[in-house]
Structure 1
Amino acid sequence: MANISMCQALGFILGPVFQTCFAFIGEKGVTWDVIKLQINMYTTPVLLSAFLGILNIILILAILREHRVDDSGRQCKSINFEEASTDEAQVPQGNIDQVAVVAINVLFFVALFIFALFETIITPLTMDMYAWTQEQAVLYNGIILAALGVEAVVIFLGVKLLSK
């Protein structure tokens, strides 16, 4: 779980870093009238994300292969695979604490909702509070969010190391 959270925090680092890099394109950017596409500091991160998503799907389909396994983790050779020995003692599955699962999911939703809300309102808020231009707000907020992401990765690594 710590690895997944760390990778998510890494994504929260790289997103603002890319947005900070694209802030130098400016608000006007470049417009291609032929296909009615405007490339600026707001659209470039989205287009890069869409390109990387398509590349990710292509790589998943081309490289990863499906492997069927049974409940014990052994690889199934065919669809009609049956366990070789049924005499093995079945390991009883523990009961899942439904309240804990719901609580964790609700807390995860609340944390991501707050982060998304913060990312959404931070640019106009800092423009109003510090009299920044849109380019300055995107640049400085990207740097701030990247620093917060680095801090989150350090915390998740610390949790992983301390929980051993």
Structure 2
Amino acid sequence: MALHLRDVLLGNTTTRRRRYASVALPPVLFVLTFAAYALDVFQVSGGVVFLAAHAALVGIVGAAWVGYRRAGLVVAWVTTYAALLGQSADHYLLSQSPSHSLADRAAAFLQPDGLVFLGVEALVLGTLAYLLGALCERGMSRIAAGATSPDGS
């Protein structure tokens, strides 16, 4: 089984249902993370936050699931980015002082340096989680193949 760069990056989604699941996951995780922080289900401990732990965990779990399904590394990156962006949206749009206008808060949320920083985090975390998910899938398939072979080896 040869791995092709296109399959690793974009996945080998053979069914329409799998493609839709890959497309739907990032917006769902964005909304889920945003709502969890907005409702104080997830909280930031305070101080300077370089990596929101709960958002990162949601993104890692999503990217690992993407890796397990072999849906593509790009999907894993976007999934992780969406979860991190959900926390950032809550921070800038809802948690800032009401003395700042909504336009000021939206401009702060859309600052390129912050978005790029989240992108770098998403690349690192998404890649590691994707690899973990892909390794789990490979291990499970080998275990299943060994269990079905007649000689047990």
Could you state the TM-score of these two structures normalised by the residue count of structure 1? 0.30
**Structure with bigger RCO (C-alpha 8 Å, 6+ apart):** 1
Could you state the TM-score of these two structures normalised by the residue count of structure 2? 0.32
Richer in helix (by share): 2
